[in-house]
A and B are shown apart, each in its own frame.
Chain A
Amino acid sequence: MSSLIQITLGVLTAMGGFVDIGELVFSVQAGVKFGFALLWAVLVGAIGIIVFSEASGRIAAVHKKAVFEIIKDRFSKRVSILVLILSTILNILTCAAEVGGVAIALQLLTGLSHLPALILTVGVLILIVWTLPFNLLEKIFGLLGLGMVIFIAAVITRHIPSGEISSGLIPKLPHYNLQSIYTYLYFALGIISSTMMPYEVYFYSSGGIEEKWDPKKLIDNKLTAIVGMSLGALVSGSLLVLGADIFKPLNITPNLHGTSVLLAAIPFGKIGMIIALIGIIFAISGAALETCFAGAYNIAQYFEWRWGRHLDPTKTQKFSATWITIFIFSFFVLLFNIDPVDLVEYAVIFSLLALPFTYYAVLKVAADKRIMQKHASGNFGKTLGWIYFVLICILAIVSIPLMILTNMGKG
């Protein structure tokens, strides 16, 4: 039972990580542009985030340190401040995109206009985070975000031959022109990056510290990472499949994240539409909460302030002021009528620059026998981790040139 409860942390992280506003557009667009051919990227991202969240959770349980604390230990002061600045900018940008996404979904559900929906979103998020204990927060957003599972059900109703879907799990370049290949690679990179965004491990490991994990929780950690992230991957993959199956033949390239709701409405009608919207509101709110907390955790851990939502907010004044400021800053960013989808696309691509630093520290500490003792990564975990590290470095190098070459995926 305890394991089952713990899984909700993973579900929240996974739903927020895989199925944030960027995913709603990126995955569906990938399906529209290349059919099932990019499903492998969802799988690659899923395995990557399972490897690194499991390792960061294990470090939190054994070493009692969150990811940013180990970044600070591993790198010099200058490098860690550089990572702090970069990750804080990314966390704020992503948080603003998620908050904007929630506001739009709220508009689609209730008919509120933009500004009231935005004020309501930020106000309610601050109120909920301020008043509810951490474990209740994760359960509410994690479980209600499960409404996104409707997209998996929608795939089942489409009766798509399994052979067609599984063919997308093997990477192959499209037989088009060079520009199409660049676009294909840009989408593959976007899917992998959005799945492995660093805020997920910052939040996940700090969440482990909040919940006072110890080595007895290592099984729960493994289960949480595998089940939670796999569920997120299934939702993300379903969005891609539905995009390929429903929108591609109709020549619709969804540029609005509200368009994805149609993928649930077509098979299930209004009920499906409402469940999808509620799922989107809670999953993206979960992502907003994760990014906001990840930003506050990193800053607090770097400056060694008292931090944690399990503590009374009046006893963690600097930490509390930081997460409230991030929410308010996100609100002001959105007042400039910036499209949340554009914002998150920039955040996803630029996050690749912070990934190598973050995952290098996680890999090194997780494999360090002096720190982790018998819980240090085994040969399989180490090999897989380093393969991913090399992949991340390659993606970081090619990300921005590809972004320019493809005009942000528009070809």
Chain B
Amino acid sequence: MKSSYIYIVSALIALLVGVTVFGTQMIGNTELNKNDIHSQINDFESFGHETQLLLQNYQQDKITSTYLTNQLNQIDKKFQSISDTLQGKKIAPKDFSNLKKLTNLSSEYLFMTKKIEEKTAEKQQIESELLENKKITKQLEYLGKLYE
């Protein structure tokens, strides 16, 4: 192999890595656009549906409380991380109220999972949280539709 070939390949790899890092940085610093908001709401909504499925399967005794609480804990972290990402970005004035709603729904969700974690021993007592989760997910669906 000629040495020039090595330099071309090295330069190509460096360029590709550079473009990725630059691209990621650009995405991180720009104002939130419609697609970003839609993608974040979709993630929230998906976690809402997942919570629904988890709670239903827990009530049917198909999953253990250890699995349920740990999975909810992981979802909590994701919710928190998405909220932090949203707060760290520039937001257009027209999106303020919707993103405020989203942040509130996120807080409601986190409060709800805390309540579930406190009473996982009683499967039937999570009925009210199941309804609460449905309500949150419905509102997320509505918000998502605004950005489709």
**Inter-subunit contact B6/A78 (CB<8 Å):** yes
Q: A104 an interface residue at 8 Å Cβ cutoff?
A: yes
| Interface members, chain A 264-295 (any B CB < 8 Å) | 265-266, 269-270, 272-274, 277
Of B16, B53, B64, which one neighbours A252 at CB under 8 angstroms? B53
Q: B69 an interface residue at 8 Å Cβ cutoff?
A: yes
The interface residues of chain A lying within 8 Å CB-to-CB of B63 are 261-262, 265, 270, 273
The interface residues of chain B lying within 8 Å CB-to-CB of A78 are 3, 6
| Interface members, chain B 51-88 (any A CB < 8 Å) | 52-54, 57, 60-64, 66-67, 69-71, 74-75, 78
**Inter-subunit contact A110/B66 (CB<8 Å):** yes
The interface residues of chain B lying within 8 Å CB-to-CB of A277 are 67
Of A79, A253, A404, which one neighbours B9 at CB under 8 angstroms? A79
B35, B45, B62 pick with most chain A CB within 10 angstroms = B62
Q: A108-B67, A410-B39 are in contact. Are A79 and B6 (CB under 8 A)?
A: yes
Q: Which residue of the partner chain A has the closest CB to B10?
A: A82
- How many angstroms between the C-alpha atoms of A251 and B44 in the bound complex? 11
Q: A252-B49, A262-B53, A404-B20 are in contact. Are A82 and B62 (CB under 8 A)?
A: no
The interface residues of chain B lying within 8 Å CB-to-CB of A170 are none
Binary interface profile of A, 393-410, with partner B (CB < 8 Å = 1, else 0)?
000000010011001001
The interface residues of chain A lying within 8 Å CB-to-CB of B43 are 253, 255
**Inter-subunit contact A269/B61 (CB<8 Å):** yes
B24, B45, B67 pick with most chain A CB within 10 angstroms = B67
Give chain B's interface secondary structure class.
helix
**Inter-subunit contact A108/B16 (CB<8 Å):** no
**Inter-subunit contact A262/B19 (CB<8 Å):** no
Q: A253-B42, A404-B20, A404-B23 are in contact. Are A259 and B35 (CB under 8 A)?
A: no
Q: A261-B67, A262-B63 are in contact. Are A256 and B1 (CB under 8 A)?
A: no
- Taking Cβ atoms with an 8 Å cutoff, the residues of A that contact B are 75-76, 78-79, 82, 86, 104, 107-111, 250-256, 258-259, 261-262, 265-266, 269-270, 272-274, 277, 350, 353, 400, 403-404, 407, 410-411
The contact sample of 6 A-B pairs, CB cut-off 8 A, is A76-B3, A252-B53, A253-B43, A256-B75, A258-B67, A407-B27
